[in-house]
Structure formats: structure tokens, C-alpha cells
Structure 1
């Protein structure tokens, strides 16, 4: 069965009906006397039917999902300054929609009832339905919410609903790539790797400055910068010195953070189109999960690499200065940073990050050569048996 049939994109009319049912249910539980003031008798009958199919606390659940999603977005890291000592662009656009980064102030409101009420206030205010506002909110509350809406970027209920529905579809379609339609150019973009971020760079100028000596060029995106460094300076990440590699990673992280500011403009949840009907390719899934050296069955591909490193007797000293810990192998460095040092890779110093990069490149190269010896590709095994 095609996935489009399994996971159709909700129509605008069905979304509106669901939003109306959510508001109907909220008012019914809060002040049922207002229902006939808000909706016609015929509309109430239809919404009553829809309301029975919705969970009573769905509005609060939608907010929680939205908050979690935004909390996981990249945050500024004061220790990493990609533009330090570099010229600023001549003009920096200041747009009101960006003032409340990723709806952050709305997500930080502590009172769940207030969050829901504010979302409903914003919903009717956007529709210019002043009669509904008068029925639902007293004068003092309206004034309070009016002030909040002026300084808080409140997400539309339709957007929170779209995200909620999308999150519900993900578990059963985790092996399939999501496809979104850019709100500006209407191009379908598959969410593979950093494809959405790269596309944002097509429409937005997010300056990424070249850090090679005597080169003062800057580009609209990190990807364009990376191409420039490879093509014009004949320099790739594994060949960079510690300073160059550090600046490259800082540029990458800063671009990712700034591009995320624009994600809701170009690829909001409601721009989801469908899941790709082809499954994601995963070569590691083709590996025989049984170790040919010791016979141990290991399901997780990442654990297989750790297993091979143990067979090879690989060890690695922690890259953090003044730490004498010796790890059983390099792939444990990230978890060691988190569990022991309470740090992340992007908080490493220039010297530490360079050591981590070299270790990672060497480890991955070694695993590429050694893993097939312990966990061969199944197709190769089948050909041998034939």
C-alpha cells in the first residue's frame, strides 16, 4: 500500500473542523452556557460529534509536544562565536516575527491553563472575531492577553495540531523519509541529512565567512562556504589544522542555529506533504549480526563497532586536558564527555576538538576496514554459500 494512503496530509477543511472541535470542547468544559453564543445549533451538533473523538486534554498535550520540539532546537552557545573578529553584514534585517525566537516565550509560560487560554485568545484575535473574545474573556483578562500577544509570538492552534498529528505518524513510518513543501517556492524537499537547512540557505542570507588567511569572502550558507574551501583552497576537513577545523565546526553550528530561526517560516509542521514510499537505505542493516570471531549476536550496528574495537584491543585517552582516563575505544569519547565531564562536543576547546576529530577520523577509517571481517554483509555470505 502506498504511504500516501497510509499517511495522507490533512486537508485544510478537516484541520479547521478539528480546531473548532478543540475549542468547542474547551468551552464546553469551562463554560457550556457560551456554546450557543459561539456556534449555531447545527454547528454545535456537528462539533459535539467531533468532540467525542478527541481526548479532553488534547490542547494541553499539543502544547507539550510543541514545547518539546522547540526545546530540542539548536540554542546559541556563547563559547562558540563564528563571527568573532569578523566584519558584520552591511545590513541586518530586523523582522518582528523573529523577535520571539521559536515561540520561546510562549513555551516558557508556566500555567498550562493560561497557555491554552492565550492560544484561544490569539486564535479569535487573528480571525478578528471580537464577539467571541467578549464572550470568552472578561475585560481585565483581555487587556492582560492583549499585552502578552504584543510581546509573545503565540503559535496558531492549527500549527500545534499539525505538529501533534505529524509526531503521531512518525513511529509507524520511522523507516521512511518525510517530505515537506517549502512555503515560499513550493518545492518538495526530503528531510534527509540537513536538506531542509540547506534549502533555507537558498532563500535566506545567513553569512558564513571564510576563515582561511587572506581570504575575505563570505557566503549565504555554511554549505556554500564548505564548497568554496574545498574548491578554491583545495582543503578538506581531515587535512585542516586545529584552528581551521575549529572555525569550520563553529561556522557549521552557527549556521544550523541561525537557520533554525527560519524553520517555521519555510517548513512549519503544516508544510508536511507525505512520507516517501521508499524506505531509508541502511547498509549496516545488511551486516550479519553474528560476530565471526566469537559468535556473539549483536543487533545494534553501533554496538558492533564497539565490539570490533574490543576485539582489536583499541584504547584511547580522553581528549579533555587534565583528564587521565583511558577509554576502551574512541567511540566512547562522547558518552564519557556527557557522563563524566558533563560536557558536549561543541564545548571542547580548539585543541581538544581537533584531537577528537583526528581520533574520530582514524577510528571510522579503521572500522570501515575491520567491521566487514567480523560482521560481513549478508549478500556476500549468500554468494559464498551459492
Structure 2
């Protein structure tokens, strides 16, 4: 199946099994050299892509990356730029990423910044990468101050989601990706929640049609939101207060604080799950969300094995981390909350008492 992403720089997201041959045509004509960025531990998944590019007569520069969030550092970016420079990459050359969300973040950033932008095709190999990181053009790296604070918008030339790679994932990694899937259900497509709740076993089965449908629906949610507000600046015109792309940050303000507190050792989808429980309670306490929908967050997430509690860092530490979140404005914290299913909005400057109460709910108190 294909999902078309419109806008100023349109591209397609291909979803299916055995679709690796779609990478080459997405690169377009005129490309002579391709840098393939991949985690060193996923070389076996990158090799078929590298072989196909080589057979087509392209010169391939292999750029192995550290695993996970360890790839998203300034030092890794500098090393990639140096390698591109030594290989003589020009604006007519391209980047291909093969890996999870950290790989597409870093590979996209390298493509966005080399010569102020060269084409990139993403081949996400994780559920998280397919439904979130690879689509929408956000790229970035981490600093000591927080996650994704340095980055740029750089839409890819195409995205190829080969569902067969989901079968190579450790179970916990697949489950983690469902954090972003469930998020899409709450902010835009409640059918996602129904599918997860009615068949949680199918949702975590990499070969099931349920998971394939969850991927399709989640990608469609992200595409619909991104096309309406690519650079997360204005929300949806005439959208009745819809925060636009910022809606995709549902649960992320607390999630990023937790990830930083855990030195990025917690999986992103797990942190997002906990962050959604936090923000659902915040919305309930501030009169935006009814009790049943707030409680549904923990129930749906727990059904597929995602965490719903966290007590690993004190409130003061997490609050300080949230203040440097990229969605904050000055000293004012901003959270995406729900007024109901598929009705996201921004809550700015919530009261300290409500923040602390939501934190206690997150701790399981």
C-alpha cells in the first residue's frame, strides 16, 4: 500500500512486505553516490539495500552508527560530514537510512545539513521508526540539555516500510513502538484504540494483519497532521483550536524528561506511554477530560505490555527537564491534552498543584 504525503515537497510512504526494491526509484535520476547510514548491529538489514544500490551502478558509502540514542550526538554528525566531504558528495548525491527512529533522526539531520540539504530516503526497520520518526521530516540530535533540541525540518524523498523487518525485533522493542501507535489513537483515530483493545495479542504479533492495519492507520494520522502544519508553527487554520503538528507531542513533554532522567536508557515508546498517563491525569484534573477516558489510557497501554507508572526520578528533577523542552515558551510549560477522544488542544501554564497531582498518579500513588 502507498500513502501519499502532499505539500511543497511531496513523497510516498510505501508499506508492505518485500518492498525493498522501492528505495532505488525514490532516489530519482542523477544520483551517483549514496551514503547508507545504519546501526552497526543492523548491518544484516542494510546489506540488501546496499547490494541493490550497487547493482544499479551507484557508489555506496557505508556509514555505520552507534546503537540507539548514542547515534544522536554532535560527534557522530561531525564524523558523518567528514566522511561525506572526503568522498566528495555533492548536492546531486543522496542519503539512505536503514534502522530505527534514532537512525532516521540522525541520518535525516546529516542529509538536511550537508550542503544545506541533499535527498534522503528512509527505510525504518522498527515499529517506532515506521509510525513516527521516518515520516514528517523532523530530524535532530540530543545535547546535554535535552532530547532533540538541535535539528531541522527536512522532508524525505520517500519512506519504505518493509513490515517483514518487524519480525526481527526483540519483543520489548516491538511493544515500545506501540506507545506511538496508541498515541495516534487518542489524538486522532479511535479505531486504533479499538483494534488494540479487542486484539492485544494481534497488536504485538509482527505477522498479524492487525499490526499491519495499525501501522497503516498510524502513518495516515501522522501524514494528515504533518501536511496541515509541517513546521509545527500555527496549528490548523480554522481547526477550532487544533494544535496542528504539536498534537503529535501528546505525552512527550514528560516522556522526554523521563528519558533524560534515565540517561536515554529507557525506550522512547515506553516513556511516551508513561507520559500519556501523566498528561491524561493532568487533563482530568483541569476539567478537560472525563474520568473514563483518562483511565482508558492506562488500560489500553497495559493491555499490550507498556508501562504506565514511573517513580525513578523526583518531581523537581522532571519539572526542571520539562522547562527546557522545545515546546515550552519562556518559563511557561505547555502540554498537549485532550478535550475528548481525537480532540487535542494545548494547555499552557497549568497550576503547580495539578502538575504535582499528575506526577503522583504517574508514580502509582
> Which of structures 1 and 2 has the bigger CA Rg?
1
TM-score class normalised by the smaller sequence: under 0.3
TM-score, with normalisation over the residues of structure 2?
0.25
| TM-score normalised over the length of structure 1 | 0.24
Q: Hey, which of these two has a bigger chunk of helix by percent?
A: 1
Query: Per residue, is there more strand in 1 or in 2?
Result: 2
Between 1 and 2, higher relative CO (CA 8 Å, sep ≥ 6) is seen in 1
